[in-house]
């Protein structure tokens, strides 16, 4: 079945194509979002080179099976496994901004027990930061899981704090100073922690995930806590990662920077 619904998510327009086998098709970016750079206390973290080092998507496909989702992403360049391209990832949207499948790498920033441990000379224990300690009540320490290993999350997103959407889903107004992610250049969206945790999303799943030279493959189960296409459309983007961190090293805002939709020209 092919749906004619157009789904507005931030500044993207998705033309859904939902079939037994789903091919991604994001048609256009509808606007350019310009954000002023503001100081974000107490510390803002982002890739200094923006998204310039992110391998862009050359081809992608999603297959919706009876009980799981299979994703394949092919990139124009080699996909680093050592953190050398900075903090970035790829996201598959199947239910608007809810239950987004995020596939990420972020050396020195801990939020998953799947990440492994980076050498202290690369990520000093004294500067350890992330979310893992907060998510596990301190049972798992940020400094022990701060490696660059690729891993998955299921997250709910929202417009960056300080930004509003009009009735058509288009960002309006300007970012307020010191407004979390909205104070970081290029941030249009951020993780909605309250919704993600409140609805029981599988925040750090150990999905079957394989990264080769220029290909990422992921198999994710379907379910209310995992991914569950709602028929409104499927889209995929590459993005950089930024964050604000408090004085004890806990991430307070996790930001989606310069998201770039994959457009299937075929």
Q: Per DSSP, what are the bridge partners of residue 21?
A: 63
What integer pLDDT is reported at residue 37 of this predicted model? 24
Residue 248 neighbours by CB distance under 10 Å = 9
pTM for the full model? 0.79
pLDDT (average), residues 78-94: 94
Q: Which residues contact 225 (CB under 8 A, 6 or more apart)?
A: 154, 199, 200, 201, 202
54-73, pLDDT tens digit by residue?
999 999 999 988 899 999 99
What is the residue extent of each domain of the chain? 7-261
User: Which carries the bigger pLDDT value, residue 51 or residue 42?
Assistant: 51
DSSP state letters, 36-95:
-----SSEEEE-TTTTTTSPPEEEEEEEE-SSEEEEEEEESS---SSSTT-SEEEEEESB
pLDDT (average), residues 180-202: 89
pLDDT above 60: residue 42: no
**Integer CA distances (angstroms), 10 to 13, 84, 97, 144, in order:** 8, 29, 9, 35
Strands 43-46 and 109-110: unpaired
| DSSP single-letter state for residue 160 | P
Residues in the chain, how many? 266
CA-CA-CA-CA torsion sign (251, 217, 80, 9): negative
Q: How many Å apart are CA 183 and CA 166, to the nearest integer?
A: 20
103-150, pLDDT tens digit by residue?
999 999 999 999 999 999 999 998 899 999 999 999 999 999 999 999
138-151, pLDDT tens digit by residue?
999 999 999 999 99
């Amino acid at each position: 079945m092919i749906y004619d619904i157009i789904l507005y998510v931030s500044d993207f327009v998705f033309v859904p194509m939902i079939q037994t086998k789903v091919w991604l098709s994001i048609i256009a970016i509808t606007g350019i979002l310009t954000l002023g750079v503001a100081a974000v206390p107490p510390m803002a973290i982002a890739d200094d080179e923006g998204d310039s080092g992110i391998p862009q998507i050359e081809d992608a496909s999603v297959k919706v099976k009876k009980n799981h989702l299979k994703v394949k992403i092919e990139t124009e360049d080699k996909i680093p496994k050592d953190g050398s391209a900075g903090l970035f990832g790829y996201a598959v949207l199947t239910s608007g901004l809810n239950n987004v499948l995020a596939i990420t790498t972020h050396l020195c920033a801990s939020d998953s027990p799947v990440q492994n441990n980076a050498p202290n000379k690369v990520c000093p224990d004294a500067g350890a930061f992330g979310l893992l300690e907060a998510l596990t009540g301190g049972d798992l320490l940020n400094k022990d899981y701060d490696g660059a290993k690729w891993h998955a999350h299921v997250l709910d997103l929202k417009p960056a704090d300080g930004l509003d959407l009009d009735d058509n889903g288009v960002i309006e107004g300007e970012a307020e100073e010191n407004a979390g992610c909205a104070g970081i250049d290029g941030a249009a969206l951020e993780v909605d922690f309250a919704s993600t945790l409140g609805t029981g999303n599988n925040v750090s799943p150990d999905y079957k995930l394989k990264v080769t030279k220029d290909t990422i493959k992921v198999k994710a189960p379907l379910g209310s806590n995992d991914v569950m296409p709602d028929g409104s459309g499927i889209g995929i983007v590459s993005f950089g990662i930024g964050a604000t961190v408090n004085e004890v090293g806990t991430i307070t805002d996790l930001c989606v920077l310069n998201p770039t939709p994959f457009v299937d020209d075929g």
